[in-house]
Structure 1
Amino acid sequence: MLALPLLVNACGTEPTSAPTRTQALEARFLAADPVLKLIPTAGNFAPPDFAKETGNGLYSQARWTNKVALDGKFSVLLQKSVDYASCYTSTPENGCAAFAAVIVSGVEGITIADLSTIGFSVNGTCGAGSPRFNLYYDTNGDGQADGVAFYGCAAHVSALPPAPDWTSMSASSDAPDFCYSFGPPIGTCTLDANSTVVQLSVIVDEKGTWYIDRVQAAGTTTGEPNGT
């Protein structure tokens, strides 16, 4: 099953917040040792109401590239050309709510305990909100997202850089920087070790350029188009 598009609205209550509505994402249950695959995706929520996802156009892009790589021959380019701060003005610029992401396919349906440590390496600014992991999770077994958790790059920087111009981050999936359950109304974080993964992604929704490689989840690391 192809991972569904990630829906992110940079003009929520936080500059890098996910939408507050429940995402109708179908989870699948996998073997104990998942095979990870990275799926680049990008999109945009157009002003003035930011209610409908449209094509990313010129505002953001997510794609494989062989121009920069930490391991192997490829990394995933994530890029956005419009600052999200424009969303908070009286005349928001189209593209301020655009996003670029790479979905980590292969972990859907496993528990947070089995997801364990998550991480990635980045060439570009390791910011508090971009890039970050977004984790949509299920708490009642119906396969739909009941909440979302965030793990920013800057808060989880590894002690030693893997190579010049690269930064690595690593976080325990059961200890997010911020987390909330979907409503209405929006509630406190309900993520625990028995929650299951609906969707995991590395995402940027601020202006800039990043290269993502060496993505880690569920004891597996990948960074190439074929999943190696």
Structure 2
Amino acid sequence: MHPSGFGERSYAAWRGQEGLPDARGNADAALYLQKMTTTTTFAAAVVVFEGVGGLSTAAIMPLGFSFRVEGHCGAGAPRFNVTFQPAAGGPLETLFFGCNSNMMSAGTTTDAKGRTWEKRTATGPLPPGTVLLLVIVYDEGIEFPPGFVFLDDIRVGSKTWTSPADNGQ
């Protein structure tokens, strides 16, 4: 998982002491995604998942994350974009799973600092096929306050990221 971004005032990065307890260590990291400009500005925070290309669409399900509720959770951002080749052939397809669209609430929790997190999960199923690209995109701007979100416990199939240290696991 590699956070980045492009364009004006938009980026993604891990931040310590902002998240839920980590699987290892005590950094309590959370993934921060920001777009502090208008939605129409060509800019976004993005997170690219490596190692998923070539997997079956079934292997990456479920998709999910917890988001800190003072951040933005809209129909279009943050969202998972899944680009895949359908098993039946034809053109590539991209499906979207937005925080508040195609993802179901799976409850809330409160961290040690008293901040509330809501777990969101997309269980699919996806159409049969082969995954080419999986990303998280945050491209809704300041018209949808506050222009950022913290994510944690990011899940792709059987793998969960609680901090950047989970990239090597």
| 8 Å contact from structure 1 (residues 135, 149) kept in 2 | yes
Write the mapping of 1:114-133 to structure 2, written as runs, cut at 5 A: 114-123=59-68, 124-133=71-80
Work out whether 1:217 is the aligned partner of 2:167. no
SS at match of 1:135: strand
Indicate the structure whose relative CO is greater, using CA pairs within 8 Å and at least 6 residues apart: 2
Aligned to 1:66: 16
Gaps of 5+ in 1: 1-37, 44-55, 88-95, 176-191
Higher-Rg member (1/2): 1
- Structure 1 stretches of 4+ with a deviation exceeding 6 A read none
| 8 Å contact from structure 1 (residues 107, 218) kept in 2 | no
Aligned to 2:107: 160
Aligned to 1:98: 43
Q: Judging by fraction of residues, say which structure has more strand.
A: 2
Work out whether 1:170 is the aligned partner of 2:121. yes
User: TM-score, normalised to structure 2's length?
Assistant: 0.78
CA distance in 2, matches of 1:101, 1:146: 21
Q: CA deviation at 1:172?
A: 2.0
SS at match of 2:116: coil
Q: CA deviation at 1:137?
A: 0.9
Write the mapping of 1:171-186 to structure 2, written as runs, cut at 5 A: 171-175=122-126
| 8 Å contact from structure 2 (residues 106, 121) kept in 1 | no
Aligned-partner residue type, residue 134 of structure 2: L
Q: CA deviation at 1:110?
A: 0.7
CA distance in 2, matches of 1:109, 1:115: 11
Aligned-partner residue type, residue 68 of structure 1: E
Q: CA deviation at 1:140?
A: 6.3
CA distance in 2, matches of 1:149, 1:64: 26
Alignment deviations for residues 83-134 of structure 1 (CA, whole Å, 9 cap, x no partner): 11xx3xxxxxxxx120101122232211012222110111212211111111
From the superposition, tell whether residues 132 and 172 of structure 1 become closer, same or farther in structure 2 (CA, over 3 Å). same
CA distance in 1, matches of 2:50, 2:21: 19
Gaps of 5+ in 2: 142-146
Sequence identity of aligned pairs in percent? Answer: 29
Alignment deviations for residues 132-159 of structure 1 (CA, whole Å, 9 cap, x no partner): 11111123699xx812110011132324
Backbone CA RMSD of aligned residues: 2.2
CA distance in 2, matches of 1:172, 1:106: 20
| 8 Å contact from structure 1 (residues 116, 217) kept in 2 | yes
Aligned to 2:144: none
Work out whether 1:80 is the aligned partner of 2:80. no
SS at match of 1:114: helix
Count of aligned positions: 149
CA distance in 1, matches of 2:104, 2:38: 24
SS at match of 1:226: helix
